[in-house]
Structure 1
Amino acid sequence: MEMQVPQKRISVRALPVWRITGLIIALFVWVLIIGGSIFVYMKELSFWLIVVGIFVGLLITLLFTYLIPFIRWKRWRYEVRDQEIELQHGVFFMKKTLVPMIRVQHVDTVQGPILRKYDLATITIATAATVHQIPAVDLNEAEEMRRAISQLARVAEEDV
């Protein structure tokens, strides 16, 4: 039996959102590197520690602003069906999740300031055990999906 891959992708506008987030992370890393470099310079320790710090900073900046957001976007897929919600995502390890509609307790849409700027929302699907998220979905689609999942969950609950 062949594994079926979910068909829906998150919005391509997730890329700039995740790149901005990556830049914020990189900024914190650079603050630490600069602080460490000043400490190394003041204590007259090896110059190579500063070089390694700069190399690590450049690598982290490249990874978190370009490579990881692209891979994350490329691999994120989801599909809402009558009986279940299928999620597939991961950067280094691929995770596949099936959420039965009967287990869905409630569905929310969440928007932070960066998502709002790009007209995106994250859908959170709560079950008794955990909360699943579908990040960076077009705002209109997210609202429609929230209503549809809520309706399907109600129907699944009535069938029991």
Structure 2
Amino acid sequence: MSNPPSNPRDTDLIEVLEQQIEDLAAILAGPDGRTDFEQVVTYAFAVSGVTVADLEPIIEQLGPGARKVIMTTADRLRAEGEARGETKGRREALLELLSLKFGGVPATVVSTVVDADSAQLKAWSARVLTAGSLDEVFRG
């Protein structure tokens, strides 16, 4: 068995899941089992600090189908988190570049940057190098 999670609430969650193993097996075996079980796993990861290793006792009882859903969900959540982190970093870098090159950055520009997606942030960041004004950075 794996080491217990450092957060006691995570241990409680694992215990609850272990107590509900029959229900989890029924969910996994249902007509939309993988999708429904993925929702349970997504919730477990979202509300706690549990890891795939922490869920090993659940995986052992539910089998390879559960392992696949748990691993896929963990990979998806990790990728989503990395993408959010990358976008956040791009926002921070762009705002810093704008501030260094043009001085104070108006709140409307900050709002525009905060609302932008990663591709737009990348394009604006490249324009900072050659733009003579904030308007030139954000054109088109």
TM-score (normalised: structure 1): 0.25
Q: Identify the structure with bigger relative contact order (alpha carbons < 8 Å, sequence gap 6+).
A: 1
User: Which structure has greater helix proportion?
Assistant: 2
Which structure has the greater CA radius of gyration? 2
Give the TM-score, by structure 2 length.
0.28
